[in-house]
Structure 1
Amino acid sequence: MTEYRERLLPPLTVFLATALLIPATLLVFLPINEVVGVVAAIVFYVAAVLALVLTSPVLTIDAEGFAAGRARLYPHEIGEAVAFTGSAATAERGPRLDARAWTLFRGWVKPVVKVSLTDESDPAPYWLVSTRKPDEVVRGLDGIRQRTPGR
């Protein structure tokens, strides 16, 4: 059972900006052949949109732990989680960032959640992950921590 799931998709403006591939492709291919130019423009745009969607990481909180993209923290590895928004989030991603931290940022998602790790042998002191709903992520992680035996 999944408690939380979020795909960090780009905003609509990124998809609109990607539409600039259409006139650029037409400019290159129309002198060669009109049909090829139109088909190439459509194919390039669809490929770019698919790449943006399919490569967008997914955050998941479930009984098995916390997954951010391909990485996973198991319940016993999850420490305190803290949400940051606004200028505090900017500071966490910038001057306050520990170079050893594991990060998953997306430029179009400003809030972040900082998850401390309980595994002393892990070289990363914490995870810092972009999310549009930092309070929900913190609640979900706190819920996992409370259900973990031995805490």
Structure 2
Amino acid sequence: MTSYRERLWPSAWMYGVIALVIPATLLVFSPIDLIVGGIVAIVLAAGSVVLLLTSAPEIVVGDGMLRAGRASIPVALTGEAIVARGDDARHEKGPGGDARAWLMLRGWVEPVVRIAVLDPDDPAPYWLLSTRRPEDFVAALRAERAAATT
């Protein structure tokens, strides 16, 4: 049973960035052939949108597991989860981070949650995940951990 699920869809401004592929491609191909440039521009823009949508990771808490993208860990092996926003989130993502940490960050999602890893055999001391609903995620993780330890 799933207690939390979130897909980290790209923000609207990312599609605007992808739209810039069209004039850039037309600029490159217009001296050669404008029709070919238009076709290539549309194919590149559509391919970029498809890639952006299919690569959107999902965070799932349920059945005693935490899944983030393709990675998973039993919730019993997770420790304290800390929410970071604003400057604290930037610090966690940058100078305050540990190079050994497992990261699933998306530039269009500002809040992060830092989850301690209690498994002594795991080389990552913690997971750092982007999430749009950090409080809901942490609450679901705590509830799942409590259910897994009873």
TM-score of the two chains, using structure 1 as the length reference = 0.89
Q: In structure 2, what is the equivalent of residue 112 of structure 1?
A: 112
Question: C-alpha separation between the residues in 2 aligned to 1:93 and 1:38?
Answer: 39
Q: CA RMSD in A?
A: 1.6
Deviations 1:5-24 (A, max 9, x none): 22222211111111111112
Q: In structure 2, what is the equivalent of residue 13 of structure 1?
A: 13
Q: CA deviation at 1:132?
A: 1.0
Question: C-alpha separation between the residues in 2 aligned to 1:38 and 1:123?
Answer: 48
Q: CA deviation at 1:80?
A: 1.6
Q: In structure 1, what is the equivalent of residue 70 of structure 2?
A: 70
Write the letter of the residue equivalent to 2:86. Answer: G
Question: C-alpha separation between the residues in 1 aligned to 2:72 and 2:126?
Answer: 13
- Shift of the 120–78 alpha-carbon distance from structure 1 to 2, 3 Å rule, reads same
Write the letter of the residue equivalent to 1:14. Answer: M
Q: CA deviation at 1:95?
A: 2.3
Question: C-alpha separation between the residues in 2 aligned to 1:64 and 1:47?
Answer: 36
Count of aligned pairs:
150
Write the letter of the residue equivalent to 1:51. Answer: L
Identity among equivalent pairs (%) = 45
Q: How does 1:125-136 map to 2 (within 5 A)?
A: 125-136=125-136
Q: How does 1:1-151 map to 2 (within 5 A)?
A: 1-149=1-149
- 3-state DSSP class of the match of 2:140? helix
- Shift of the 28–99 alpha-carbon distance from structure 1 to 2, 3 Å rule, reads closer
Structure 1 residue ranges, 4+ long, deviating more than 6 angstroms after superposition: none
TM-score of the two chains, using structure 2 as the length reference = 0.90
Moved more, 130-139 or 28-37: 28-37
Q: CA deviation at 1:143?
A: 0.9
Q: CA deviation at 1:27?
A: 2.5
Question: C-alpha separation between the residues in 1 aligned to 2:47 and 2:81?
Answer: 37
Deviations 1:93-122 (A, max 9, x none): 222212221111112211110111121221
Write the letter of the residue equivalent to 1:85. Answer: R
- 3-state DSSP class of the match of 2:49? helix
- 3-state DSSP class of the match of 1:148? helix
Moved more, 131-140 or 141-150: 141-150
Write the letter of the residue equivalent to 2:118. Answer: T
List alignment gaps of at least 5 residues for structure 1.
none
